[in-house]
């Protein structure tokens, strides 16, 4: 029986960092496959994780609760047949709904020998309030559906702000284990233990999701966004189509978020990139930028890997890529200005 762990989290929460730590410290000796579900045209995280030698299956389009259910099952079967893994990690899109990913796994459990081991949400402690207020439909679903919530960047968060974040999370999920200790102070094995403590809770929450789904289908008559329309609608991402969320209007991620990405051979000076990232992180000149990531060459032969969330960014040197790649996710993005800024006109 292959274990499946789902590690979700809003844009830029730190899912990839957590996955690297777990692979290095908690899953040694296990045959492991990562299935990554990216929002946007370019699967940027593939480049980051390739450094760690991790096998990746990227699924870059489709709605996971509808048009991807068949593909999702096929992907799982292919992974199981080809790799016979002990464990599969699923990293959903940052703007996907965790409840839909759980349902997608449930949907194939009868056909393939898999066990849903844990479903985790990574939350940036400093941005919890911001995201809950502005993007609650997506963010809160991830929080409410998790059996373990792992706070990131707690070492950089003031105690008062950290406690407020925990309090807000508890309003949406009273039962999940919440990890507040900085990751550097914990071993991967400790984090895994916390994730798996929720196994009993996981079963309980799965049962709740099933009841919720059955209840929603009893009230779906006259709902304007039924399954038939959903299948006809093209989703440019892997988020919820709202099929299971009847009774109120729910948005597709592609109605709320824009993903803009590009490949480029342009070489970027570090100082120039820093100035641009400062603008992206601290102003709305380019729209509301929630996440930016990329690997770009510089004139001195180094490769600059950058990672940005509102108010902060980092640049580090990484291994060469086949070409420069970058991706920006946000709302009301000014693509023409972004193209100018990154010399892509």
Residues of the chain short of pLDDT 50, as ranges, are 63-69, 199-200, 221-249
Q: Name the nearest CA neighbour of 324 among 256, 246, 267.
A: 267
CB 95 within 8 A of CB 38: no
Other C-beta atoms within 10 Å of 78: how many?
Answer: 11
- Residue 219 is predicted with a pLDDT of 62
- For residue 285, count other CB atoms closer than 10 A to its CB: 12
Name the nearest CA neighbour of 296 among 281, 306, 284.
306
Alpha helices in 179-240 (DSSP H): 188-197, 199-218, 227-232
Question: What's the confidence (pLDDT) of residue 230?
Answer: 28
Query: DSSP label at 13?
Result: S
pLDDT of res. 323:
84
**pLDDT, tens only, 210-238:** 666 567 666 654 443 333 322 333 333 33
Q: Give the per-residue pLDDT at 81.
A: 82
Closest to 141 measured CA to CA, from 310, 254, 36, 9: 9
- Rg value, the chain, Cα: 20
Burial of 336 (0-12, 13-18, 19+ CB in 10 A): exposed
CB-based contacts of 164-167 (< 8 A; 24+ apart in sequence): 164/128, 164/129, 165/123, 165/125, 165/126, 165/128, 165/129
pLDDT at position 6 is: 95
Tokens of 271: 């100082």
- Per-residue pLDDT tens for 285-326? 999 998 888 899 999 989 999 999 999 999 999 988 888 888
Q: What is the DSSP string of 81-143?
A: HHH--SEEEEE--TTS-HHHHHHHHHHHTTTS-EEEEEEEEEEEGGGHHHHHHHSHHHHHHHH
Residue 303: strand, helix, or coil = strand
pTM of the model: 0.73
The number of beta carbons lying within 10 Å of the beta carbon of residue 142 is: 29
Tokens of 115: 């066990």
User: How buried is 324 (Cβ within 10 angstroms: 0-12 exposed, 13-18 middle, 19+ buried)?
Assistant: buried
């Amino acid at each position: 029986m292959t274990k499946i762990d789902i590690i979700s989290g809003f844009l830029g929460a730190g899912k990839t960092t957590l996955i690297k730590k777990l692979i290095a410290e908690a899953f040694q000796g296990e045959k492991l496959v990562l299935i990554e579900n990216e929002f946007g045209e370019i699967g940027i995280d593939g480049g980051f994780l390739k450094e760690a030698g991790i096998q990746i299956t990227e699924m870059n389009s489709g709605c996971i609760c509808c048009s991807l259910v068949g593909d999702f099952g096929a992907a799982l079967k292919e992974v199981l047949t080809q790799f016979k893994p002990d464990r599969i990690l699923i990293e959903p899109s940052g703007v996907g709904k965790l409840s839909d990913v759980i349902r997608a796994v449930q949907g194939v459990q009868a056909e393939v020998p898999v066990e849903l081991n844990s479903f985790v949400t990574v939350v940036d402690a400093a941005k919890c309030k911001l995201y809950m207020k502005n993007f609650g439909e997506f963010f809160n679903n991830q929080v409410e559906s998790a059996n373990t919530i792992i706070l990131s960047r707690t070492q950089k968060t003031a105690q008062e702000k950290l406690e407020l974040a925990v309090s807000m999370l508890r309003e949406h999920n009273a039962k999940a284990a919440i990890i507040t200790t900085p990751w550097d102070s914990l071993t991967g094995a400790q984090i895994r233990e916390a994730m798996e403590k929720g196994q009993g809770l996981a079963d309980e929450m799965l049962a709740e999701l099933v009841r919720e789904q059955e209840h929603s289908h009893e009230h779906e008559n006259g709902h304007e966004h039924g399954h038939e329309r959903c299948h006809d609608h093209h989703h440019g991402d892997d988020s919820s189509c709202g099929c299971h969320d009847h009774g109120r209007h729910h948005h597709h991620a592609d109605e709320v978020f824009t993903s803009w990405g590009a490949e480029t051979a342009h070489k970027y000076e570090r100082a120039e990139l820093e100035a641009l990232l400062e603008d992206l992180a601290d102003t709305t000149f380019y729209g509301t930028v929630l996440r930016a990531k990329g690997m770009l060459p510089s004139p001195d032969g180094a490769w600059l890997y950058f990672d940005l969330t509102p108010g902060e960014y980092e640049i580090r040197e990484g291994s060469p890529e086949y070409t420069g790649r970058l991706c920006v996710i946000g709302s009301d993005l000014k693509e023409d200005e972004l193209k100018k800024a990154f010399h892509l006109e």
